[in-house]
Structure 1
Amino acid sequence: MSIEKYDLVVLGSGPAGFSAAMRAIDFKKSVCIIEANHLGGAGIMNGALTSKAMWELSRDFSIASSVTRGYRASGLNVEYDKVQKTVIQAAKQKQLQMLSQIETYSKASENSGNITLKYGWGKFLDSNTVEIISHDKIEQVKGDNFIIATGSRPRPMPDVEVDNERIIDSDGIMNLKEFPERMIIIGSGIIGCEYATIFSNYNQTEVHLLDRQHKVIPYEDDDVSDFVSKGLEKNGVIIHHTANLRTIRKRSDCLEVVLDYQDGHSKVIEVDVAVVAVGRIPNLDNLGLENVNIKTTERGYLDINEACAIDNFKSCNIFAAGDVSGHAQLYSVGELQGRFIVEALYGNLEFPLDYSNMSTLMFFKPAVAAVGLNEKACKSQNIPYKVATYSNSLINRAIAMRASDGFVKIIVSDDGENRILGMRAAGPQASTLITSIAYQISQKGTLKDIRKNVHPHPSISEGVQECLRVFEGKSIYKPQAFPDFIKLESWHPEVVKENS
């Protein structure tokens, strides 16, 4: 049996694997992509793209059905199967773009490398050989270097059996045939809150959200968590704070959900569908890691160094990128790591990997964006800081849009240097606002560096401008006049010690 040989073998075609493969053809390398399931991984199907397509459609429906803007749409209705069809069309569009590029580079040329896509499950036989098991054949490929980019899957919940019919996880959302009348979402992190937003936007489903703690999105600061909670409740979501799931009983006509609360009382509710959204775990099963002496960390991830190598970069030819690496499970992180590995192997690195300015978008109502440190992180690291918050209620563009529910929150160091440490933004165009601050964080920027920027009017970004002016007492609208809309606070480790 002849065995094909490649410069680079990539396990997984998600954002990390696909971006690595595409960067490798820039270096005129031969690449084999091995994909066990959907092309694009969770970045396309059952993940980032499909869930955001669902969110966009639900937001459009929510705006169209609003009666607070001086108009009323008549005859407005929604059908889940048609929404589902539109979402799948979006995913297919991206998959066809990926396939088109793979086919374009399926043959080597003088100006680029070439890519071969093989469907099946890849398993290491040794440090230079991977076996590919598909439904109709088994084959082997060899490579000089390998990237494990197999992504992640929904985390199972003890004693809860996911059948992806009535008890589903995020992969099973697309299995639904219609809008459930009643739904409970177990888990109040980003995934849980996003789906609570989506289904409540359509106003077809009574949505319950199970929050084991006092706050949704518990790793964020309390003001951000409270903002998200209020937005969900305003949208009709019933949040069960400090509640634990005891059991789900399957009845012929419903699911009977038993909740135990922190104060000792219990509650039984009936729903039609339960969504398990308690996080994700890496896809590392049956990869043959034992054949190449690779062990996972206590948390089940691959331990990578600053070059994303699983061992010493100079002596190791196996790398990892994306969700399996144990870093933030973000599309942008996986994409950056995949490109970085290839540049480390075949090119000259211009800069090291920097995770400090990785932006996060949370698709709630309204959307929330985050980058850099929050107050909790600053306190845990004993970093003195100042924090200014400026409400969208004072921003002309937001007022004109009738979308003033939101804010800009910026954190800077309070050590005389005024370094930009982090930002949280909520409301329209939050994803755009966060980019400029992410750049300043990566460039070690300060208030002095960015305060002279002039923003166009009317624009949402004027909120960033005014928030920065708050630090110096130069904002046009003053916190003395609008204490609920403008805030400036500071924190120092020594002050806490003195008061304790």
Structure 2
Amino acid sequence: MKNYDLIVIGSGPAGFSAAMRALDFGLSICIVEGAHLGGAGVMNGALTSKTMYELSMDYAVAARTDRGYRSGSLSVDFGQVIKTVMQAAKEKQYQMLSQIETFSDGKPYPGSLCLKRGWAKFIDSHTISVTGKQGTETLKAKSFVIATGARPRHAPGLDIDHERIIDSDDLLKLTKFPERMLIVGSGIIGCEMATIFSNFKQTEVHLLDRANRVLPYEDDDVSSFVSKNLEDNGVIIHHTAHLRTINKHPNHLEVILDYDDGHSKVIEVDVALVAIGRVPNTDNLGLEEIGVTTTERGTLEIADHCVLRDANNTCHIYAAGDITGHAQLYSVAEFQGRLASEQIADTPCYPMDYSHMSTLMFFKPEVASVGRNEKQLRAANTPYKVAYYSNQLVNRAIAMRSTMGFIKIIVSNGDEPKILGMRAGGPQASAYIVSVAHLINQGNSLVEVLRIFYPHPSLAEGIQECLRTLSGKSIYKPEAFPEFIKFKEWKPEVKR
């Protein structure tokens, strides 16, 4: 029976980063993976979906006719698109395998790595069984990190047949562009998929939005921005609609939608994609053998340093990533994995602060966010000031002929305002959101931030002008451009 310092169950962003950080401390590590190396961070998730997104955006740019040039004959082959997506996933998987082999047993390095293919199950708090194609073996370790990720959530009463009624894991199995597609769910995943398929202009895309707005947790102006751009891209959004049933016919799916105002509608599609979130993978892990129960949402509760809270007060079993119930983001999973290994190595570390995480949403154009939004601040009765600055006034966006975008920054309403949150839409939003995340993390005042020089011409200059708007110092004034520059203050009502 092989003994390790650390066994990591799952090789996604949380598991792989935990293993690599543990390697820094000279530990012997075994990674156990039952499905795809890299998990949803590589396959059927972040990397594959973003590769498909980038290809669709390239196609959309090539199809434009308003820039002085026109493509003579533009076509797209779905099979080649999927082949390119798979090439990207395999490229990353072989990078991961190369590193594992570099630090395998017998190499002249302090730590070691090995990969076991199979499904792990706890026998006791220091022992697991791993069942794979070659049978079952037993492994022991001083510490464990559970990083088994999450899988697509299925809608109650809806039969996912993985052929015509599919989830996000089935997208790479499609053999051609559907002529008509219904996407159930208007959160980030649903809107991203609607963007991808509408970009290629081969599919009539229907998006089911149970609320009155897509991305209902975001502020109304951000939600409206995304919704309008989807519709301009050809997506048909069914607001306040509920899926009653899907009737299967030999050559099509008959979808019945019920709306909040009482009327119903029947539409015909070829494929229905269910994108209503993800649920943690806790099945068949043998958690009962280590005295662990999941929360009502099926997640594993962790303490500040990712140590697992369980009935036996075990302090050598950790959890990281989507399974913990925190934001299901690659960056969060990776950070948690690293933090767990630092705790295992008894290295001074600090608890994670989830209050100002950066999020990217791959729409047309992309949208990025960090910190709190207006809805959250109002719910907490926190006074604030907010400014909105359109990319139509930003020189770089004008030069790019891509002015569809904005910067929105929220600051505290006090003598020394500090940045509380930001939302941005448009080209390169994913790049410059990080600078604002740093400013939030450092707690700089608005006065200090305004001393920073921004390069010209850059899209980040929109941040500078938005901040100046909050101070009443912007070069272009809201009075001259009320549709492009907006400013307001909010304070909770004083109860008398």
Equivalence for 2:159: 161
Q: Deviations over 1:330-371 (max 9, x none)?
A: 000000000011112214334321112211000000000001
Q: Distance in 2 between matches of 1:18 and 1:453?
A: 37
Q: Give the 3-state SS of the residue equivalent to 2:355 in structure 1.
A: coil
Q: Give the 3-state SS of the residue equivalent to 2:47 in structure 1.
A: helix
Matched, 1:298 2:318: no
**Of 306-315 and 433-442, the range deviating more from structure 2:** 306-315
Q: Deviations over 1:441-465 (max 9, x none)?
A: 1222221221111111100000001
Matched, 1:361 2:363: no
Q: TM-score, normalising length from structure 2?
A: 0.98
Match of 1:132 among 130, 145, 160: 130
Q: Distance in 2 between matches of 1:315 and 1:242?
A: 47
Equivalence for 1:117: 115
1:415: how far off? 2.7
Equivalence for 2:403: 404
Match of 1:5 among 3, 6, 16: 3
1:108: how far off? 5.2
Equivalence for 2:145: 147
Equivalence for 1:270: 268
Q: Distance in 2 between matches of 1:391 and 1:13?
A: 41
1:383-394, aligned counterparts within 5 Å? 383-394=382-393
Which amino acid is the alignment partner of residue 440 of structure 1?
L
For the Cα contact (< 8 Å) 1:302–1:310, is it kept in 2? Answer: yes
Q: Distance in 1 between matches of 2:474 and 2:105?
A: 59
Match of 2:217 among 199, 210, 219: 219
Equivalence for 2:69: 71
Q: Deviations over 1:359-401 (max 9, x none)?
A: 1000000000001100011111111111111000000000110
Q: Deviations over 1:41-99 (max 9, x none)?
A: 00000000000000000000000001111111011100100000000000000000000
Q: TM-score, normalising length from structure 1?
A: 0.97
Matched, 1:283 2:281: yes
Equivalence for 1:237: 235
Unmatched runs of 5 consecutive residues or more in structure 2? none
Match of 1:97 among 95, 99, 109: 95
For the Cα contact (< 8 Å) 2:308–2:314, is it kept in 1? Answer: no
Equivalence for 1:382: 381
Q: Give the 3-state SS of the residue equivalent to 2:356 in structure 1.
A: coil
1:416: how far off? 2.5
Which amino acid is the alignment partner of residue 381 of structure 2?
N
Q: Distance in 1 between matches of 2:157 and 2:344?
A: 45
Unmatched runs of 5 consecutive residues or more in structure 1? none
Equivalence for 2:18: 20
**Of 416-425 and 175-184, the range deviating more from structure 2:** 416-425
Total equivalences in the alignment: 495
**Identity %, equivalent residues:** 61
Q: Give the 3-state SS of the residue equivalent to 2:385 in structure 1.
A: strand
Q: Distance in 2 between matches of 1:365 and 1:234?
A: 10
Equivalence for 1:349: 348
Q: Distance in 2 between matches of 1:429 and 1:247?
A: 40
Q: Distance in 2 between matches of 1:141 and 1:350?
A: 28
For the Cα contact (< 8 Å) 1:356–1:442, is it kept in 2? Answer: no
Q: Deviations over 1:110-159 (max 9, x none)?
A: 64300110011100010000110112310010011101100000001111
**Of 14-23 and 160-169, the range deviating more from structure 2:** 160-169
For the Cα contact (< 8 Å) 1:188–1:210, is it kept in 2? Answer: yes
Q: Distance in 2 between matches of 1:222 and 1:158?
A: 29
